C-alpha cells in the first residue's frame, strides 16, 4: 500500500484530493506543505498530495517554491476540486438564530462572506488556523459554527447546516500527487507538463522562452512568476503547457528551453479536466517526426 | 487635506505605507481591499492605499482583481516596506517564560515561524483576522503576545518584546497609492508602468505581447497571470514594465499591445527603489523620436 503524505490536518480539501488521487493509499497528514514534500524526499512517504493553485486565491506559493528547490519531485496525477464549503454546527443546536460565532481559516471565510452575510448576519467571524481546526473548536464548544471542507463532516460529530456553500460558484483548487523521479504516466492526448525555468534577468528573456513554445504550437495553461529568494527583481517562471514530455513536439520544446536557461521538469500527467491538447497545423507530433526524418535523409544524401 | 482610504484595520503594514505615501493625508481604514478601492470610486476618498505584492507570499489577488474590474483607478506612487514584525506583549508581563500563546494573522505567523520556535518555543500559535486584531486581543488579556506591524506599537499600550523579526530578512511588500484617472506623475527615468492585458486565449498570444515589449527594449519587472471570473483556462496578465507612459518608447509599446488585445492602464509612477530603467541600444526615446521624424520626412518627400 502506498504511503501518502498530504498537507493536513485531517478533514481538509487536501485530504479529500488525496483520497481521490490515491484511493488505496495510507494517508498521513503533514503539518505544512514543505513537510509533506520532505516526507517523500526522505523516503518516509511514497508520494505527497498538495494544492498547486486556486482559481480565486492564486498560486500556492509554498508548493511552487518547495518544488523549485531541494531534491526533484514530479507530479504524476492531478485532481480539481470545486471550492464548496460545508457549514457545520453542534448537533444539539436548535435554531440558527443561536449562531453567534462562525470560525474558519481566513481564506475560507473570505470565500463565503456573501453567504454568511445573507444567512448568518449576526454571527461574528473568527479566524482559525485551518478549516479543520475550526471544526474541532466547534466540537469543543468554543464557537457555534465552522466553515469547512465537505470531508470534515466525516471526521467530526457535527451537524451539516449547509453544503456546497461558495460565493464564486466555479472556484476550483488544483492538487497534485508528487513522487520522486521515475516512470512517467503514459501520454493520453489530454496531458499537462509542468516546469520551472530560471530565465536570465534581461530584457526579452521571457518573451524568448514563450516564443520557443508558441513556435511549436504549444499552448500554455499557466504561468506564474515567483521572485527567487523572496526578493523582487529576479524571478523564476512556473510554466504549465498542454502535452506530455514523451511527445516529440514537447520534448523538442523542452530541449530548446534547456539550451536557453536552467529548467527543472516538474511532471507530465493526464489533466483532471480531460481537455485534449490544442495542436496547431504543422505542429503535430507526426510533423515533428517527418521533419526529423527528412533532416536525417538530407544528411544521409538520400534526399534534398 | 487629501482623504486616504487604506486597507485596515489601524496598526497594520498598509497604514504604515499610507502614512509614508500621504504624510499629510487624513487616513481612514477600510475593512477590505475592495472597500478601499470603492471609497475612491464613489468619491468618499481621494486616494486608496493597498498592498500589491509580497516577495514571499506573492501577488495580492484582491488588489489585482479589484483593479481589473470596475471604474478605472491608476497608481500614482508606490512604497516598499520590509516585512519586519514586532512582537508585542502586555506591559505587566514579567518574564517571557509566561508567554503561552502568541496570536497573529496566519500569513504573519508563517513569516516568523523560525523566530518563534527559537525564542518562544512553548507558545501556542493562534490565528487572528489581522496583525492588529492580535494586538487588540493581547490588550484584552485573551493572549500573551502578538506578532504585528511595527506601527501597531503606536496604537496599543503594549510592550515591544522584539522588533525587526523576520525569518526571510529581505522580504518586502509593495504598496500603491491609487487615484481616479487624472494628471500623471512626471517621468523621472526610474519609473514603473503597470497594465492589465486580456490576451486572446490562443497559442502564442502572450508570447506575442511580450515580444512587442522585448522588441522595444522594455524590461518587465513583474508578470502575474490571473484567471478571469475565478476560472482556470482564461487568464488576464498583470504586467509591470520599466518606464513611463509619457516616454515615446513606452507609449509606442502600449499602443502596440492595445492593437492586439484589451489593455487597461494602471499607472506610471516613480519606483520606490529608485532603480533607473535599463534601455537597450536603439531603444532610447531619442531613437524612437528620430525614427518617427524620419518616417515623416520620407512621407513628405524630403528624405529617403
SS3 A265: strand
Q: Quick one: pLDDT at residue B107?
A: 78
Report the C-alpha gap between A35 and A12 in whole angstroms.
Answer: 16
The residue among A52, A109, A77, A36 whose CA lies nearest residue A267 is A77
SS3 A233: coil
Residue of B nearest to A214 (CA): B204
- Residue B7 lies inside a defined structural domain of this protein: no
- Looking at the structure, tell me whether residues A32 and A70 fall in a common domain: yes
- Looking at the structure, tell me whether residues B128 and B188 fall in a common domain: no
Looking at chain B from residue 148 to 187, which residues have their Cβ under 8 Å from any Cβ of chain A?
Answer: 168, 170-172, 174
- Looking at the structure, tell me whether residues A93 and A114 fall in a common domain: yes
Q: For position B106, which CATH number holds?
A: 3.40.190.10
Task: Choose the final residue of a domain: B110, B137, B165.
Answer: B165
Take residue B274 and report the three cell numbers written for it: 529608485
Distances (CA, A) of A52 to A14, A173, A254, A285: 10, 7, 21, 29
Q: For position B287, which CATH number holds?
A: 3.30.70.260
- Looking at the structure, tell me whether residues A59 and A177 fall in a common domain: yes
CB spacing of B55 vs A171 below 8 angstroms: no
B188 touches chain A (CB under 8 A): no
Residue A88 half-sphere exposure toward CB, CA atoms < 13 A = 30
- Looking at the structure, tell me whether residues A223 and A297 fall in a common domain: yes
- Looking at the structure, tell me whether residues A198 and A161 fall in a common domain: no
Query: Could you say which residues of chain A have pLDDT below 50?
Result: none
Looking at chain B from residue 24 to 43, which residues have their Cβ under 8 Å from any Cβ of chain A?
Answer: none
pLDDT tens digits along B218-249: 999 999 999 887 677 788 999 999 999 999 99
CB spacing of A232 vs B280 below 8 angstroms: no
Pairing of strands B235-242, B220-227: antiparallel
- How many domains does chain A contain in total? 3
| Minimal CA separation from B151 to chain A, in Å | 22
Mean pLDDT per 10-residue interval, chain B, length 304 residues: 93 94 97 94 98 88 93 98 94 87 86 90 83 92 94 93 91 95 96 94 91 94 86 87 96 94 96 93 91 89 81
The boundaries of the domain holding residue A66 are 1-82+173-183
Q: Quick one: pLDDT at residue B230?
A: 66
- Looking at the structure, tell me whether residues B234 and B278 fall in a common domain: yes
Q: Quick one: pLDDT at residue A264?
A: 96
- Looking at the structure, tell me whether residues B148 and B247 fall in a common domain: no
Task: Choose the final residue of a domain: B115, B133, B165.
Answer: B165
Q: Quick one: pLDDT at residue B97?
A: 86
Report the C-alpha gap between B227 and B234 in whole angstroms.
Answer: 6
**What residues contact residue A157 under an 8 Å CB cut-off, 6+ apart?**
A91, A139
CB spacing of B58 vs A226 below 8 angstroms: yes
- Residue B157 lies inside a defined structural domain of this protein: yes
SS3 B61: helix
Report the C-alpha gap between A11 and B7 in whole angstroms.
Answer: 32
Asked if residues B65 and B50 have their Cβ atoms less than 8 Å apart, the reply is: no
Beta bridge partners of B240: B194, B222
- List the end-to-end C-alpha distance of chain A, in Å, as a whole number: 56
pLDDT tens digits along A276-293: 999 888 889 999 999 999
Q: What percent of chain B has pLDDT over 70?
A: 99
Task: Choose the final residue of a domain: A152, A183, A214.
Answer: A183
Q: Quick one: pLDDT at residue B193?
A: 98
Amino acid at each position: 500500500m502506498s504511503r501518502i503524505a498530504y498537507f493536513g490536518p485531517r478533514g481538509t480539501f487536501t485530504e479529500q484530493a488525496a483520497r481521490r488521487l490515491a484511493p488505496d493509499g495510507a494517508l498521513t497528514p503533514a503539518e505544512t506543505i514543505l513537510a509533506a514534500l520532505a516526507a517523500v524526499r526522505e523516503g518516509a512517504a511514497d508520494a505527497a498530495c498538495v494544492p498547486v493553485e486556486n482559481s480565486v486565491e492564486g498560486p500556492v506559493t509554498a508548493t511552487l517554491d518547495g518544488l523549485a528547490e531541494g531534491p526533484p519531485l514530479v507530479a504524476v496525477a492531478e485532481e480539481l476540486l470545486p471550492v464548496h464549503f460545508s457549514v457545520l454546527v453542534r448537533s444539539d443546536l436548535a435554531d440558527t438564530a443561536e449562531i453567534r460565532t462562525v470560525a474558519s481559516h481566513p481564506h475560507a471565510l473570505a470565500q463565503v462572506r456573501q453567504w454568511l452575510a445573507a444567512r448568518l448576519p449576526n454571527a461574528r467571524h473568527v479566524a482559525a488556523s485551518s478549516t479543520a481546526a475550526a471544526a474541532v473548536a466547534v466540537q469543543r464548544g468554543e464557537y457555534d459554527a465552522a466553515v469547512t471542507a465537505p470531508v470534515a463532516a466525516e471526521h467530526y460529530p457535527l451537524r451539516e447546516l449547509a453544503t456546497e456553500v461558495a460565493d464564486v460558484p466555479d472556484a476550483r483548487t488544483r492538487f497534485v500527487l508528487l513522487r520522486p523521479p521515475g516512470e512517467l504516466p503514459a501520454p493520453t492526448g489530454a496531458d499537462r507538463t509542468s516546469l520551472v525555468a530560471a530565465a536570465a534577468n534581461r530584457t526579452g528573456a521571457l518573451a524568448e522562452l514563450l516564443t520557443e513554445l508558441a513556435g511549436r504550437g504549444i499552448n500554455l495553461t499557466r504561468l506564474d512568476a515567483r521572485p527567487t529568494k523572496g526578493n523582487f527583481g529576479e524571478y523564476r517562471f512556473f510554466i504549465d503547457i498542454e502535452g506530455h514530455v514523451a511527445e516529440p513536439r514537447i520534448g523538442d520544446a523542452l530541449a530548446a528551453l534547456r539550451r536557453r536557461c536552467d529548467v527543472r521538469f516538474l511532471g507530465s500527467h493526464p489533466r483532471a479536466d480531460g481537455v485534449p491538447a490544442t495542436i496547431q497545423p504543422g505542429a503535430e507530433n507526426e510533423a515533428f517526426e517527418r521533419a526529423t526524418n527528412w533532416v536525417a535523409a538530407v544528411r544521409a544524401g538520400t534526399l534534398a
